[in-house]
Amino acid sequence: MPKGAKRMDLYEKTTEHIVALMQEGKLPWQQAWDSAAGAALVMPVNGKTNHPYNPFNSFLLSAVMREKESADPRFFTIASLQEQNRIFAARVARLMQEGKPVRPELRWEYRVKKGSKGIPIIQKWHVERDKDKRPLPEEEQYWARRITAVFHAADCIRREYAYDKDGNRRIGDDGKPIYTDHPLKEYVPKAPVYTHEEQHGIAEAILAASGAVIRHDQADQAFFSPRRDEIHLPPKEAFPDLGGYYATALHELAHWTGHESRMNREMSTDKTSRSYAREELRAELASTFLSLDLGIPLDPESHAAYLQSWIEELKADKMAIFKAATDARKIVGYIKRLVPEAFRTSSRLTPAAEGVLPASKEKAAVPAAEPSHEPIEANKEQAGPNDREKQGTAKEAVPSAEELFSCRYASVMAACSRSRRRHRPI
């Protein structure tokens, strides 16, 4: 099968999965919350680097988390687990050579459970060097893609071998090493947590810095008027809580960016048109990305009126969800640039956990032939620490801050103060 056909088949399978969830009234990008205090949504992350996945892979992996009924967002490749094993083995060898004690966890070996099915995702990275590791001129650099398989943390294990007093593995009567397999340590969310007051202050800072005209003149509806270039909302008191107000306001602010004087998107007012449904999907995803970081719960009923039109759009165009996600990233990027001093990109959403390499130690893989797009089964016998993983000359792309940025309350409130001096009150 041609590479392009494999990739399109993956898009199609993912879209079909998302449509199936939508038909059940579920959205894969809306997950459970860590706490009522406002911890960020649990979104899939690379278990090795702790980086969030791009929207396409997030949609696919979020659906896997939902199927497994798991809040653990970590996904690993077999190669990343093997890399961690090699690092630990090297540390153990050095400590033993120096006559120093070896912590038990350094002897753990990370593996994928036999028979586990891998989830194919699309990796993207920027190639800056040739095959001989020589820097490429800027005009010859390019983005490369390939399909690879990842495994959810629930499908991974840590193998603990039995050792004698000399540090050698004990051998059983069957001539094989004695070991016990354990699940990975439980995932503990470490995302920033804000109080409700902080959440609302951050959201207010964004709205103020935008300079958007907001009218609180509606009883039970919210909308953006392209003709008047105004956002219309019910008063804050009409919402059950302020979180609902700000989630709605951010959704309408996403629409606001589409005005001809800003991002100039097609803004149909015909609620029965496909164009209208597309814009609603863009705004839904953009407000999700914003609410994700602020810790503002999303209204689970807010999408109900558009579900059927989204389902029809996705059935008609298998790339629709990915086009909408790309547009949503641009929307969030536009909003972020309104208050650049208020946001700080975090390359580490959570501290490195067991089986996770520090981001600074990561090396991207050389582009390789794409494996099958079908679910990939874990090898019955996986390679151990002595098997080498190819090290490459390509730098893997880090998801943009628009996908999932980390915001710090103090800097946002400072930005809010400055924005009040630059813009009229809303």
Clarify whether residues 235 and 160 are in a common domain: no
**β-bridge partners, 394:** 127
Clarify whether residues 251 and 209 are in a common domain: yes
Clarify whether residues 362 and 425 are in a common domain: no
The pTM assigned to this predicted structure is 0.61
**pLDDT one-digit tens code per residue, 371-400:** 333 333 454 445 444 333 333 333 333 333
Clarify whether residues 210 and 130 are in a common domain: no
pLDDT tier at 159, thresholds 50, 70, 90: very high
Distance CA 231, CA 287 (A): 15
Query: CB burial class (10 A; 0-12, 13-18, 19+) of residue 115?
Result: exposed
Distance CA 125, CA 421 (A): 41
Domain span at 285:
192-348+399-426
State how many domains the chain has.
2
pLDDT (mean) for 113-123: 89
Clarify whether residues 153 and 244 are in a common domain: no
Clarify whether residues 22 and 138 are in a common domain: yes
Clarify whether residues 113 and 209 are in a common domain: no
Clarify whether residues 41 and 161 are in a common domain: yes
Q: What pLDDT shows up at residue 388?
A: 36
**pLDDT one-digit tens code per residue, 346-360:** 333 333 333 343 333
Clarify whether residues 288 and 263 are in a common domain: yes
Clarify whether residues 93 and 201 are in a common domain: no
Clarify whether residues 103 and 168 are in a common domain: yes
Distance CA 139, CA 218 (A): 53
**pLDDT one-digit tens code per residue, 188-245:** 766 555 667 777 887 888 899 899 999 999 998 999 999 999 999 999 999 888 888 8
**pLDDT one-digit tens code per residue, 35-44:** 333 334 567 8
Answer whether residue 136 shows pLDDT above 80.
Answer: yes
Q: b vs e for 391-421, b when ≥16 Cβ sit within 10 Å of the residue's Cβ?
A: ebbbebbbbbbbbbbbbebebbbebbebbee
Clarify whether residues 220 and 198 are in a common domain: yes
Q: What pLDDT shows up at residue 69?
A: 82
